[in-house]
Amino acid sequence: LCGGVANKEEFQLLLTGEFGSNYIIEATTSFATPPAVTVWTPLATLTNSFGAVQFNDPFSTNRTQRFYRVVTP
């Protein structure tokens, strides 16, 4: 489960889940039309030490659009 909020300064993503779980935050600026493949760039690897973990992207305001996904290793 996660939720994201954008403000004038950054994008904030809050992830909740199992204690000790690891998450990789990835981003892309566009989706490819099949058969092309969307390129996802890893931004951070987070460990959920308290039941919830927050990711902040201060560079999101430099783009007109940015899409995020969370994957587990």
pTM above 0.75, yes or no: yes
User: Is the pLDDT confidence value at 1 over 90?
Assistant: no
Task: Give yes or no for residue 35 having a pLDDT over 80.
Answer: yes
Q: Rounded to an integer, what distance in angstroms lies between the CA atom of residue 16 and that of residue 21?
A: 10
pLDDT at 2: 63
Does the pLDDT value for residue 5 go beyond 70? no
CB 2 within 8 A of CB 18: no
pLDDT in tens, 45-58: 999 999 999 999 88
pLDDT digits 0-9 by tens, 20-31: 999 999 999 999
Asked if residues 55 and 48 have their Cβ atoms less than 8 Å apart, the reply is: no
